[in-house]
Structure 1
């Protein structure tokens, strides 16, 4: 995806080497917004490896303004056994509070929608916290629909280790 100019002299582009600290800073700000400020274990070195290493498995688009990353969309591929096509899972979308209302969040999601269409992917999906009313309203405004019959399940920590050892 070529860089795209946005309002207020911002640029939307694919993440590139050198963006690691900006990505990590945005991830930390998102964790604080989601009331989990101490949950981030990620590091610049991990981001370098996962996003830009020999076999990247995670990707990002960023909004850069005045030499700083002010918005991120972190994503990876999914696969639908029913359609036989990939999709994009939006893991994290974050725009700094001072930069909100300028269309950056919508531009980031639109960039992922463009990736889906250009690559023949069948869907773009993500989760949102139940209490995050502003984000829910934003997503509904884009035309996103809740998957109310589906509930995300997760294994972590001791439960993951116990199952893995069986």
Structure 2
């Protein structure tokens, strides 16, 4: 009998699972040294009166084995909101069954229903399987854009430049 795949909105009870999946994703991406998220910080940012992001859980036979975390952004050129998919992760044992596609298209449906002008995400340049998967869904790689990031002490220093 084939597995039952479902997606659903994350709840506060899912936060420990989300954190465990974040750690698995970081290990896959060789970025474990960057994870400082805790159950408490996820609860404070995902389930507060004005959440910073939202999450969907991907389940196989009722067990959460993946997630998609996304947040609203804005396009000045379109003068419309957009959605940014921060992370999409499915445990390796459950890849290839359609759960990743179910999660990414569920977020696309949310973007469409909210009237968003675009839906975007980033992918590591060495992650060929993910790039192929995204392109198979019609995504276009924007090779002329580069991410700029300021964190930690550099963010503190930059913030102080405006005072």
| TM-score, length-scaled by structure 1 | 0.91
Counterpart selection for 1:151 from 146, 153, 157: 146
Do the aligned partners of 1:10 and 1:63 also contact (CA within 8 Å) in 2? yes
Give, in whole Å, the separation in 1 of the partners of 2:104 and 2:38: 25
Counterpart selection for 1:24 from 19, 27, 30: 19
CA RMSD of aligned residues (A): 1.2
Partner residue of 1:4? none
| Residues paired across the two proteins, number | 160
Give, in whole Å, the separation in 1 of the partners of 2:143 and 2:157: 30
Give, in whole Å, the separation in 2 of the partners of 1:15 and 1:122: 24
Counterpart selection for 2:111 from 99, 106, 116: 116
1:142 and 2:134 equivalent?
Answer: no
Do the aligned partners of 1:59 and 1:74 also contact (CA within 8 Å) in 2? yes
Partner residue of 2:128? 133
Cα offset, 1:92, TM superposition: 0.3
Partner SS state of residue 102, structure 1: coil
Counterpart selection for 2:63 from 52, 63, 68: 68
Cα offset, 1:154, TM superposition: 0.6
Q: What pairs up with 1:23-42 in 2 under 5 angstroms?
A: 23-42=18-37
Q: Where do 5+ consecutive residues of structure 1 fail to align?
A: 1-6
1:81 and 2:76 equivalent?
Answer: yes
Do the aligned partners of 1:22 and 1:68 also contact (CA within 8 Å) in 2? no
Partner residue of 2:85? 90
Counterpart selection for 1:43 from 38, 42, 45: 38
Do the aligned partners of 1:58 and 1:75 also contact (CA within 8 Å) in 2? yes
Give, in whole Å, the separation in 1 of the partners of 2:155 and 2:97: 41
1:99 and 2:94 equivalent?
Answer: yes
Cα offset, 1:46, TM superposition: 1.1
Partner residue of 2:156? 161
| TM-score, length-scaled by structure 2 | 0.93
